[in-house]
Amino acid sequence: MHDALTAEKAGVVATAIITDRFVPTAKAMATVQGMSDYPFAVIRHPIASNTEQTLREKAEEAVRQCVEILLQGEPHADA
């Protein structure tokens, strides 16, 4: 999240991919960085122990969400 937010602040369109169990932390980091509504892709936890097939399915889901987020316009900084 920090990398994506840093890129965004530097004018580079970005997003982050988070597993569902890290969503509260991703939101906390976005808030700390002053972009509390920053959108990010969410896939199911975990990653490390997945089969290749499951990992491919999660990657395809992440790509689908990332494309949607990246095309929806600029994120807003907190007032």
Partner 1 sequence: MTQLRSPSYDLADIVAVNDLYHRRGWTDGLPILPPTEELVQACLDATGLAPSAVIGVESVRQRPITAEKVAINAVMAGCLPAYMPVVVAVIKAICQPEFNLHGSTASTGGSAQFIVVNGPIRQRIGLNATHNVLANHSRANACIGRAIRLILINVLGCLPGQLDRSTLGHPGKFSFCIAEDEEDSPWTPLAQQRGISAGMSAVTVMAGESPHQTMNEWTRDPEEIVETFAAEIRHNMLTYSIWAGNYALIVPKQLRDLIATAGWQRRDIQEYVYRSARVVRRDWATVGKKQIVNLGKGADQRFSALRSPDDLLVIAAGGPAGGFGAIIPPWLGSRSQAVTQIIETL
Residues forming the site for partner 1 (CB under 8 A): 2, 22, 24-25, 28-29, 32-33
- Asked whether 56 and 31 are in contact (CB, 8 A), the reply is no
Query: Based on CB atoms, which residue is closest to partner 1, 12 or 71?
Result: 12
User: To the nearest whole angstrom, how small is the minimum distance from the Cβ of residue 67 to partner 1?
Assistant: 28
Q: What angle do CA 15, 36, 40 make, to 5 degrees?
A: 25
User: To the nearest whole angstrom, how small is the minimum distance from the Cβ of residue 2 to partner 1?
Assistant: 5
Query: Based on CB atoms, which residue is closest to partner 1, 44 or 64?
Result: 44
Number of residues that this document lists for the chain: 79
User: To the nearest whole angstrom, how small is the minimum distance from the Cβ of residue 27 to partner 1?
Assistant: 8
Query: Based on CB atoms, which residue is closest to partner 1, 31 or 72?
Result: 31
Cα gap 35→16, rounded to integer Å? 13
Cα gap 57→38, rounded to integer Å? 24
